[in-house]
Amino acid sequence: MVVIDGIVIRPQHCAYDNFSNTLVNHRGGVFCDVHNQEFGARCHVRDCQNQKIDNTQACNEHQEMWHKYNLEHSLDYLNGRHVQQPHDESDTNIPKKSHYFSASRYYCVETICAPCGAVIAWTKFVKSESTTNILKPDYICIDKACKLLRTAVANGSWVDWFKSSHFVVDGYHYTNHCSDDYLCRKWCNPAPQDGSAPNLVYIAQDRNACEQLNSWLGGFESIMKCMTPSNFNWFIHSMIFYHTQQVIKWQNSQNFSIISEDFEHDDGLL
Protein backbone atom coordinates (compact mmCIF):
# COMPACT_ATOMS: atom_id res chain seq x y z
CA MET A 1 0.00 0.00 0.00
CA VAL A 2 1.10 3.56 -0.68
CA VAL A 3 -0.27 6.81 0.73
CA ILE A 4 -0.81 9.84 -1.52
CA ASP A 5 -1.33 13.40 -0.34
CA GLY A 6 -0.60 16.95 -1.42
CA ILE A 7 0.53 20.16 0.24
CA VAL A 8 -0.02 23.65 -1.14
CA ILE A 9 3.50 25.07 -1.55
CA ARG A 10 3.52 27.26 -4.62
CA PRO A 11 6.68 28.45 -6.41
CA GLN A 12 6.13 30.76 -9.36
CA HIS A 13 6.16 30.02 -13.08
CA CYS A 14 5.23 31.78 -16.32
CA ALA A 15 1.82 33.48 -16.17
CA TYR A 16 0.84 32.65 -19.74
CA ASP A 17 -1.96 30.10 -20.11
CA ASN A 18 -0.93 26.44 -19.79
CA PHE A 19 2.79 27.20 -19.53
CA SER A 20 4.99 26.35 -16.54
CA ASN A 21 8.32 27.62 -17.88
CA THR A 22 10.83 29.32 -15.58
CA LEU A 23 10.46 33.09 -15.18
CA VAL A 24 13.05 35.27 -16.88
CA ASN A 25 12.98 37.53 -13.78
CA HIS A 26 12.01 36.15 -10.37
CA ARG A 27 11.83 39.58 -8.76
CA GLY A 28 8.59 40.95 -10.14
CA GLY A 29 8.65 39.22 -13.53
CA VAL A 30 5.57 37.42 -14.84
CA PHE A 31 6.67 35.69 -18.05
CA CYS A 32 9.27 33.20 -19.20
CA ASP A 33 11.90 34.31 -21.71
CA VAL A 34 9.75 33.36 -24.73
CA HIS A 35 6.59 35.17 -23.62
CA ASN A 36 8.50 38.10 -22.14
CA GLN A 37 9.88 38.88 -25.59
CA GLU A 38 6.39 38.67 -27.09
CA PHE A 39 4.30 40.39 -24.40
CA GLY A 40 6.78 42.11 -22.07
CA ALA A 41 6.27 45.62 -23.45
CA ARG A 42 2.53 45.25 -24.01
CA CYS A 43 -0.35 45.81 -21.59
CA HIS A 44 -0.75 42.69 -19.47
CA VAL A 45 -4.54 42.67 -19.67
CA ARG A 46 -5.72 39.68 -21.69
CA ASP A 47 -6.04 40.35 -25.44
CA CYS A 48 -5.00 44.01 -25.12
CA GLN A 49 -2.56 45.10 -27.86
CA ASN A 50 -1.63 48.51 -26.41
CA GLN A 51 1.79 49.37 -25.02
CA LYS A 52 2.00 49.51 -21.23
CA ILE A 53 2.87 52.73 -19.39
CA ASP A 54 6.28 52.87 -17.72
CA ASN A 55 6.44 51.49 -14.16
CA THR A 56 3.07 49.79 -14.57
CA GLN A 57 1.80 46.59 -16.19
CA ALA A 58 -1.10 48.21 -18.04
CA CYS A 59 -1.86 50.68 -20.80
CA ASN A 60 -3.65 53.98 -20.24
CA GLU A 61 -7.03 52.35 -20.87
CA HIS A 62 -6.52 49.72 -18.16
CA GLN A 63 -4.85 51.82 -15.44
CA GLU A 64 -7.92 51.54 -13.21
CA MET A 65 -7.67 47.73 -13.33
CA TRP A 66 -3.94 47.94 -12.54
CA HIS A 67 -4.49 50.25 -9.55
CA LYS A 68 -7.27 47.98 -8.24
CA TYR A 69 -4.92 44.99 -8.49
CA ASN A 70 -2.20 46.83 -6.55
CA LEU A 71 -4.67 47.83 -3.86
CA GLU A 72 -5.99 44.26 -3.45
CA HIS A 73 -2.44 42.89 -3.23
CA SER A 74 -1.07 45.49 -0.83
CA LEU A 75 0.10 44.36 2.62
CA ASP A 76 -2.59 46.36 4.41
CA TYR A 77 -5.31 44.65 2.37
CA LEU A 78 -3.89 41.14 2.65
CA ASN A 79 -3.26 41.45 6.41
CA GLY A 80 -7.00 41.77 6.98
CA ARG A 81 -8.01 39.07 4.57
CA HIS A 82 -8.07 35.31 4.98
CA VAL A 83 -6.69 33.71 1.83
CA GLN A 84 -8.15 30.24 1.48
CA GLN A 85 -5.93 27.66 -0.15
CA PRO A 86 -7.83 26.04 -3.05
CA HIS A 87 -6.58 22.53 -2.26
CA ASP A 88 -8.63 19.69 -3.77
CA GLU A 89 -10.70 22.01 -5.97
CA SER A 90 -11.53 20.83 -9.46
CA ASP A 91 -9.67 22.41 -12.38
CA THR A 92 -13.05 23.46 -13.78
CA ASN A 93 -13.58 25.78 -10.78
CA ILE A 94 -10.52 27.90 -11.61
CA PRO A 95 -11.62 31.01 -13.56
CA LYS A 96 -9.76 32.13 -16.65
CA LYS A 97 -7.31 34.96 -16.02
CA SER A 98 -8.41 38.44 -17.05
CA HIS A 99 -4.84 39.76 -16.85
CA TYR A 100 -1.20 38.76 -16.39
CA PHE A 101 -0.21 41.23 -13.67
CA SER A 102 1.48 38.53 -11.59
CA ALA A 103 3.23 35.24 -12.22
CA SER A 104 1.29 32.01 -11.90
CA ARG A 105 2.09 29.50 -9.18
CA TYR A 106 2.24 25.74 -9.06
CA TYR A 107 -0.84 24.28 -7.41
CA CYS A 108 0.76 21.89 -4.94
CA VAL A 109 3.47 19.34 -4.20
CA GLU A 110 2.19 15.76 -4.25
CA THR A 111 3.99 13.06 -2.26
CA ILE A 112 3.73 9.27 -2.28
CA CYS A 113 4.76 7.61 0.99
CA ALA A 114 5.05 4.08 2.28
CA PRO A 115 2.98 3.49 5.46
CA CYS A 116 6.19 3.71 7.50
CA GLY A 117 6.71 7.31 6.33
CA ALA A 118 9.51 6.78 3.80
CA VAL A 119 8.97 8.94 0.72
CA ILE A 120 8.73 6.96 -2.52
CA ALA A 121 8.20 9.85 -4.96
CA TRP A 122 7.14 13.48 -5.21
CA THR A 123 6.26 15.97 -7.94
CA LYS A 124 4.85 19.45 -8.47
CA PHE A 125 1.30 19.78 -9.85
CA VAL A 126 0.70 22.79 -12.10
CA LYS A 127 -3.04 22.31 -11.61
CA SER A 128 -5.08 20.70 -8.86
CA GLU A 129 -4.70 17.06 -7.81
CA SER A 130 -7.81 16.19 -9.77
CA THR A 131 -8.90 12.61 -10.16
CA THR A 132 -7.56 12.56 -13.73
CA ASN A 133 -4.07 13.48 -12.53
CA ILE A 134 -3.72 10.82 -9.83
CA LEU A 135 -3.93 7.43 -11.30
CA LYS A 136 0.34 0.03 -9.14
CA PRO A 137 0.33 -0.81 -5.73
CA ASP A 138 -2.05 -3.38 -4.23
CA TYR A 139 -3.83 -0.67 -2.22
CA ILE A 140 -3.96 3.05 -2.97
CA CYS A 141 -5.07 4.95 0.12
CA ILE A 142 -6.31 8.49 -0.53
CA ASP A 143 -9.14 10.60 0.86
CA LYS A 144 -10.81 10.87 -2.57
CA ALA A 145 -10.48 7.19 -3.53
CA CYS A 146 -14.14 6.85 -4.50
CA LYS A 147 -13.88 9.84 -6.87
CA LEU A 148 -10.70 8.37 -8.30
CA LEU A 149 -12.50 5.07 -8.87
CA ARG A 150 -15.41 6.78 -10.63
CA THR A 151 -12.97 8.59 -12.92
CA ALA A 152 -11.15 5.35 -13.74
CA VAL A 153 -14.44 3.66 -14.60
CA ALA A 154 -15.66 6.61 -16.68
CA ASN A 155 -12.51 6.96 -18.80
CA GLY A 156 -11.96 3.21 -19.21
CA SER A 157 -8.65 3.07 -17.37
CA TRP A 158 -10.22 0.84 -14.69
CA VAL A 159 -9.62 -2.15 -16.98
CA ASP A 160 -5.86 -1.71 -16.42
CA TRP A 161 -6.25 -1.32 -12.64
CA PHE A 162 -8.88 -3.89 -11.73
CA LYS A 163 -6.53 -6.89 -11.48
CA SER A 164 -3.72 -5.11 -9.61
CA SER A 165 -5.02 -2.34 -7.32
CA HIS A 166 -7.71 -1.40 -4.82
CA PHE A 167 -8.67 2.21 -4.07
CA VAL A 168 -9.24 2.71 -0.33
CA VAL A 169 -10.48 5.77 1.56
CA ASP A 170 -8.47 6.22 4.75
CA GLY A 171 -10.31 5.64 8.01
CA TYR A 172 -10.20 9.30 9.05
CA HIS A 173 -12.02 10.59 5.93
CA TYR A 174 -14.18 7.50 5.38
CA THR A 175 -16.48 8.37 8.30
CA ASN A 176 -17.34 11.68 6.59
CA HIS A 177 -18.30 10.13 3.24
CA CYS A 178 -21.98 9.70 2.37
CA SER A 179 -23.51 6.65 4.01
CA ASP A 180 -25.68 6.04 0.92
CA ASP A 181 -22.73 6.15 -1.50
CA TYR A 182 -22.83 2.51 -2.59
CA LEU A 183 -19.65 2.64 -4.67
CA CYS A 184 -17.64 4.14 -1.80
CA ARG A 185 -19.04 1.73 0.81
CA LYS A 186 -18.70 -1.33 -1.41
CA TRP A 187 -15.36 -0.80 -3.15
CA CYS A 188 -13.44 1.78 -1.08
CA ASN A 189 -14.25 0.54 2.41
CA PRO A 190 -11.04 0.20 4.47
CA ALA A 191 -12.69 -2.51 6.62
CA PRO A 192 -15.09 -4.59 4.48
CA GLN A 193 -17.23 -7.05 6.44
CA ASP A 194 -17.58 -9.62 3.64
CA GLY A 195 -13.94 -10.74 3.74
CA SER A 196 -13.23 -9.40 0.24
CA ALA A 197 -10.16 -7.57 1.55
CA PRO A 198 -8.15 -7.37 4.78
CA ASN A 199 -9.16 -4.91 7.47
CA LEU A 200 -7.06 -1.88 6.58
CA VAL A 201 -8.36 0.53 9.20
CA TYR A 202 -5.23 0.18 11.30
CA ILE A 203 -2.93 0.28 8.28
CA ALA A 204 -4.81 3.15 6.65
CA GLN A 205 -4.29 5.22 9.76
CA ASP A 206 -0.65 5.38 8.64
CA ARG A 207 -1.87 7.88 6.08
CA ASN A 208 -0.85 10.27 8.85
CA ALA A 209 2.71 9.62 7.68
CA CYS A 210 1.97 11.76 4.62
CA GLU A 211 0.07 14.33 6.67
CA GLN A 212 2.98 14.65 9.13
CA LEU A 213 5.50 14.98 6.30
CA ASN A 214 3.43 17.69 4.64
CA SER A 215 2.97 19.51 7.95
CA TRP A 216 6.74 19.50 8.43
CA LEU A 217 7.40 20.73 4.88
CA GLY A 218 4.74 23.43 5.35
CA GLY A 219 6.99 25.08 7.93
CA PHE A 220 9.34 26.04 5.10
CA GLU A 221 6.63 27.49 2.86
CA SER A 222 7.59 31.13 3.40
CA ILE A 223 11.05 30.59 1.93
CA MET A 224 10.16 27.95 -0.66
CA LYS A 225 7.47 30.00 -2.39
CA CYS A 226 10.09 32.66 -3.21
CA MET A 227 12.57 30.20 -4.75
CA THR A 228 13.24 29.62 -8.42
CA PRO A 229 11.90 26.23 -9.61
CA SER A 230 15.42 24.76 -9.79
CA ASN A 231 16.28 25.90 -6.25
CA PHE A 232 12.86 24.72 -5.06
CA ASN A 233 13.41 21.27 -6.57
CA TRP A 234 16.85 20.96 -5.00
CA PHE A 235 15.66 22.14 -1.57
CA ILE A 236 12.57 19.96 -1.29
CA HIS A 237 14.39 16.92 -2.69
CA SER A 238 17.16 17.39 -0.11
CA MET A 239 14.64 17.78 2.72
CA ILE A 240 12.69 14.70 1.63
CA PHE A 241 15.93 12.70 1.32
CA TYR A 242 16.88 13.77 4.86
CA HIS A 243 13.40 12.88 6.14
CA THR A 244 13.52 9.42 4.53
CA GLN A 245 16.97 8.74 5.96
CA GLN A 246 15.67 9.57 9.43
CA VAL A 247 12.64 7.28 8.94
CA ILE A 248 14.87 4.39 7.84
CA LYS A 249 17.21 5.03 10.79
CA TRP A 250 14.26 4.96 13.19
CA GLN A 251 12.90 1.75 11.60
CA ASN A 252 16.29 0.05 11.96
CA SER A 253 16.50 1.04 15.62
CA GLN A 254 13.01 -0.38 16.24
CA ASN A 255 13.94 -3.65 14.53
CA PHE A 256 17.14 -3.86 16.61
CA SER A 257 15.13 -3.36 19.80
CA ILE A 258 12.73 -6.17 18.84
CA ILE A 259 15.63 -8.53 18.06
CA SER A 260 17.32 -7.67 21.36
CA GLU A 261 14.11 -8.39 23.29
CA ASP A 262 13.76 -11.75 21.53
CA PHE A 263 17.31 -12.70 22.49
CA GLU A 264 16.68 -11.71 26.14
CA HIS A 265 13.47 -13.76 26.13
CA ASP A 266 15.27 -16.81 24.70
CA ASP A 267 18.09 -16.49 27.29
CA GLY A 268 15.49 -16.44 30.05
CA LEU A 269 13.98 -19.68 28.78
CA LEU A 270 17.39 -21.35 28.73
63-83: per-residue pLDDT in tens? 999 999 988 877 655 554 544
210 touches 113 (CB < 8 A): yes
d(CA 106, CA 224): 12
b/e map 127-161, b = 16+ CB within 10 Å: bbbbbebbbeeebbbbbbbbbbbbbbeeeeebeeb
Instruction: Please choose, from the candidates 76, 7, 3, 5, the residue with its C-alpha nearest in 3D space to the C-alpha of residue 224.
Output: 7
User: Which positions ≥6 away from 5 have C-beta within 8 Å?
Assistant: 110, 111, 113, 142, 143, 207, 210, 211, 214
What's the pLDDT at 116? 77
What's the rounded mean pLDDT across residues 225-251? 86
Whether the model pTM is above 0.75: no
Label residue 155 by pLDDT band (50, 70, 90). Answer: confident
* Helices assigned H by DSSP within the chain: 33-39, 63-72, 75-79, 145-155, 158-161, 171-174, 182-187, 201-204, 208-218, 221-224, 229-269
What's the rounded mean pLDDT across residues 197-220? 64
How deeply is 62 buried, as exposed, middle or buried, from its count of CB atoms within 10 A (0-12, 13-18, 19+)? buried
118 touches 246 (CB < 8 A): no
**Which has the higher per-residue pLDDT, 143 or 83?**
143
What's the pLDDT at 134? 52
Report which DSSP code applies to 59.
-
What's the pLDDT at 84? 47
What's the rounded mean pLDDT across residues 250-256? 74
**Which has the higher per-residue pLDDT, 116 or 208?**
116
pLDDT at 165 over 50: yes
Which range, 78-82, 160-164, 220-224, is most confident?
Answer: 220-224
What's the pLDDT at 199? 45
What's the pLDDT at 35? 92
What's the pLDDT at 152? 81
pLDDT at 135 over 90: no
Instruction: Compute the mean pLDDT over every residue in the chain, rounded to the nearest whole number.
Output: 75
